[in-house]
Amino acid sequence: MPSLVPQILAFLGGPLDAVHLPPDGSESGWRIDEMINTTTAFVSLLFVLMVIWMLWSVIRHGPEHEALHDHGAEWKSWRWTALVAALIFFVVDGDLFTRSMIAMRGTYLDFAGAEATPGAVRIEINAHQWAWNARYAGPDGKFNTPDDIVVLNDLVVPQGAPVIFQVTSTDVIHGFNVPGMRMKVDAVPGTVTRMWFQPRDAGVYEIICAQHCGANHYKMRGTVTVLPRPEFDRWAQVTSVNAARAYDPKDMEAHWGWEWTEHSRVE
C-alpha cells in the first residue's frame, strides 16, 4: 500500500513535469530566461500577498465585524495606495524595463556587432505555405548566385558564431521561431525582417511557425542543426559544390534572394 502514495503523486504531478523553459542552446538566451524567472518570483509574491489579504478580510471581517466608515479619501490614507503602486511599478516594471533595454540594445538588436564578428553566418529565409526556404550566400558571399546553398526546412549552422537571418514570406505572414535559441521574428510578405542568435551548444533545435498561416500551420516545422565549426565548414563546402552542380538557370522558382543590406522592403 505505501507504494501507492508516490504513484498517486506521480499521477497528479506527472503532467507538470514538462513545464519548464525549453533547453537553451544560445549564448544570450539566459537574458530572457532570467527576466522571466525574476518576474515570476515578483508576481508570485504579489499574488500570494493579495490572496492572503483577501482571505484575511473575508474571514476576519465577516458579517459580525463592524464595518469601518472610511472613504480612504484623505491624503493620509490615499498616499499609501499611491506609494505602494509606485513602489511596485519601480521595482517590478522598472526591473523588466531596465533589463529589456540592456538586452535589446546590447545584444538582440546589435546587428552591427553580429555582422562584424568574423565567421558570422548569413541566411535568407523565404517562408511560404507551409515550409521554410533558406539560402546561404556560398563562397562568393553573394545571394541569388549559382553557388548558393539552398535548403528546405532543415538548416545547419556553426557553433560559436553569430547566425544572422533576413526573413520574408511570399504569401501570408509566418512566424520564424526558434524557441531553443529564444528568438523569433515574423515573416511578412513585402518586408524583410531580421534576427540573430549565437548558438552555444551543438544539437538540433526546432523551428516552429508562430503565426497562424492556414490549415497546415501546425506542421510548418523545421530544424536548426548546430554543428562544431569544422563540421559546419565541411558541410557548407560540400553542399555548395553540389548546389552549383545542380544549378538550373531556367528554374525561375529557385531564383530568389536579395542583396544583403539594411533592407526594409522587397518588391
Partner 1 sequence: MTAQEAALNRQAIEALQPIHAPPTSFFRKYIWSLDHKVIAKQYLWSGLLFLLVGGILAMMIRWQWAFPGQPMPILGPTVLARSGGVIGPGLYMQIFTMHGLIMIFFAITPILIGAFGNFTIPLLIGARDMAFPWLNALSFWVFALSQCLVIAAFFGDLGAAGAGWTTYPPLATNIGTPGTGQTLMVAAVFVTGVASIMGGINYVTTVIRLRAPGMTYLRMPLTVWGQFLTAILNVLFVPVLGSAALLLLMDRIFGTQFFIAGAAAVKGGGDPILFQHLFWIFGHPEVYILILPAWGIVADLLSYFSRKPANWYRGSVLAMSAVTVLSAVVYGHHMFQTGMNPLLGQGFMLLTLIISIPAEVLFLNWLRTIYKGSVRLTVPMLFALGMVFVFGFGGLTGLYLGAVAPDIYLHDTMFVVGHFHFTMAAASFLASFAGLYYWFPKMFGRMMSTRLGKAHFWISVIGITLVFGGQLLVGYAGQNRRLWNPFEYDLFRPLAPLNRWTSYAAFTLFFGQLIFVWNFFASLARGQKAENNPWQVGTLEWSTSSPPPPHNYDLIPVVLRGPHELSNPELKAALGRDWVGQAEVVATQLPGAARASGRGAT
State how far the Cα of 170 lies from the Cα of 257, in Å rounded to an integer: 12
What the block records as the C-alpha cell of 237 is 563546402
Residue 144 interacting with partner 1 (CB under 8 A): no
Residue 219 interacting with partner 1 (CB under 8 A): yes
State how far the Cα of 217 lies from the Cα of 130, in Å rounded to an integer: 7
Taking CB under 8 A as the binding criterion, the range among 113-121, 143-151, 184-192, 234-242 that sits at the site for partner 1 is: 184-192
Q: Which of residues 147-176 bind partner 1 (CB under 8 A)?
A: 168-173, 175
Interface with partner 1 (CB under 8 A), residue from 9, 10, 82, 116: 82
| Distance set, CA 33 to CA 36, 125, 175 (Å) | 5, 26, 20
CB-nearer residue toward partner 1: 131 or 173: 173
Q: Which of residues 7-26 bind partner 1 (CB under 8 A)?
A: 14-22
For the chain, how far is it from start to end, CA to CA, in angstroms? 71
Question: What is the pattern of x (binds partner 1, CB under 8 A) and - over residues 21-60?
Answer: xx------x-xx--xx--x---x--xx--xx-xx-xxx--
Residue 103 interacting with partner 1 (CB under 8 A): yes
Q: Which residues pair with 186 in a beta bridge?
A: 175
Residue 206 interacting with partner 1 (CB under 8 A): yes
Residue 202 interacting with partner 1 (CB under 8 A): no
CB-nearer residue toward partner 1: 149 or 178: 178
Interface with partner 1 (CB under 8 A), residue from 1, 2, 7, 63: 63
On the CB side of 254, how many CA atoms lie within 13 Å of its CA?
Answer: 16
Contact call for residues 232 and 158 (beta carbons, < 8 A): yes
226 C-beta neighbours (distance < 10 Å), count: 24
